[in-house]
Amino acid sequence: MAATREHEAMSALLALIASGRAVTRTELAAVCGLSRSTVTQRVNRLLDAGLAVEHGSGASEGGRPPTVLALAPGSGVLLAADLGATHARLAVAGLGGEILAESSEDLVIDHGPDRVLGRVRDGWHGLLASLDRGARDVRGIGIGVPGPVEFSTGTVVRPPIMAGWDGFRVPAFFADHRAVPILVDNDVNLMALGEHRGSRAAEDSLLYIKIGTGIGCGTVTAGRLYRGSAGAAGDIGHIRLPGHEQVVCHCGNTGCVEAVASGAALVRSLRAGGLDVATARDVARLAVDGNTAARRALRVAAQQIGEILAAVVSFHNPGCILIGGAFTALGDEVLAEIKAVVYSRVLPLATRNLRIEAGPLGDRAAIVGAIALAQEHALAPGALVRLFG
């Protein structure tokens, strides 16, 4: 059965209540441009279905204080996973997005989808059990992976890392949850979404740049994740860096910034120089500990990434760029190099209001984004069709 206008209207009410933008019947009527009676009728359906509850009272301008609505704590939960190359973070959240339980574990993505997703499923079961919840309470699932994803189907597409995952359709693994929306996206998109949701005061647009083993970018425009026409937006790791035409990238082209300035590239060049490093985090750790070669390599890489960001800023004129990933261990030193190049290369008008900062959520950005994605779809009209018929 398809979603009707009634489902859409109830979904809009739930999203407003969940975000806190409108929590009384009067506020909901004003924001939606609907009559008070129409809103009341729809709110009653949400209350009857156990999705929303009334509690406390809101601000009043005299007279009886209005009743405040909230998503029902018992109305269901969201599952979220942030999968990295060697690590996973799992969470169970309420429909309002608040985290109820969380865990974190080492997990090798190259062990392939069956082993990795089996661990994720078991982890979620454990977290649900600790909350006295079960599979029937789950209303939506959000999963981030360290590689490109065809978002509409949740299929991993030609990942540079993630051995054994190419072409794997992640939602198909979770047979227990066939009836709920299961959304899969690449980690940097979820980081951008997570930082956007996490910082209510921030502007409605931002770029999130992750500098780790690879280099990627997530874009939020006008409050929404921008994926581009084929879901490939933000693929800045393969923009050509001037002056490095001799360096071959794993994509087959030459001179890509990822082949020169990513964590993987720094590991290669520092190992060639005799240092014992295996990951981007190792490089960052060495630099923090004061190793001159590692420190210098990070600073040069930051300048090179700044070159690419200058091109992005000239085209896109963002108001806010957040930087995350292993490189940010060096903090201000890396940010200063990036900023110096961007400010010197871009016309003043485009940098007048530009903030370049470390992502405030740090390595929690992706799990917050995964919850936000699951929430958005759990409250969408299509999901309500299953509840209301």
Using CA atoms, how far apart are residues 191 and 188, in angstroms rounded to an integer? 5
CB atoms within 10 A of CB 318: 22
Q: Which of 183, 185, 187 is nearest to 171 (CA)?
A: 183
Least distance from a copy of itself to the Cβ atom of residue 345, Å: 6
Among positions 99, 108, 131, 157, the unique one binding a copy of itself when judged by CB under 8 A:
157
Using CA atoms, how far apart are residues 97 and 130, in angstroms rounded to an integer? 18
Residue 251 touching a copy of itself (CB under 8 A)? yes
Residue 239 touching a copy of itself (CB under 8 A)? yes
Residue 97 touching a copy of itself (CB under 8 A)? no
Least distance from a copy of itself to the Cβ atom of residue 119, Å: 28
Least distance from a copy of itself to the Cβ atom of residue 151, Å: 12
Least distance from a copy of itself to the Cβ atom of residue 1, Å: 18
Using CA atoms, how far apart are residues 381 and 5, in angstroms rounded to an integer? 9
Element (H, E) at 220: strand 215-221
Among positions 15, 49, 233, 385, the unique one binding a copy of itself when judged by CB under 8 A:
233
CA 210 remoteness from chain centre: 11
Using CA atoms, how far apart are residues 247 and 250, in angstroms rounded to an integer? 10
Q: What is the dihedral of CA 375, 136, 174, 383, to 10 degrees?
A: -40
Among positions 20, 243, 273, 331, the unique one binding a copy of itself when judged by CB under 8 A:
243
Residue 2 touching a copy of itself (CB under 8 A)? no
Q: Which residues are within 8 A (CB) of 127 and not within 5 positions of it... i.e. 6 or more apart?
A: 90, 91, 92, 101, 102, 103
Q: Can you spell out the DSSP letters for 118-183?
A: HHHHHHHHHHHHHTT--GGGEEEEEEEESS-EETTTTEE-S-SS-TT-TT-BGGGG-GGGTTS-EE
Least distance from a copy of itself to the Cβ atom of residue 28, Å: 14
- Please list every residue from 23 through 62 that binds a copy of itself, using CB under 8 A: 30, 33
- Please list every residue from 294 through 323 that binds a copy of itself, using CB under 8 A: 307-308, 310-312, 314-320
**55 or 158: whose CB is closer to a copy of itself?**
158
Least distance from a copy of itself to the Cβ atom of residue 87, Å: 26
Q: Which residues bind a copy of itself (CB under 8 A)?
A: 5, 8-9, 30, 33, 148, 157-158, 203, 205, 217, 221-222, 226-236, 238-243, 245, 251, 253, 255, 307-308, 310-312, 314-320, 344-347, 349-350, 352-354
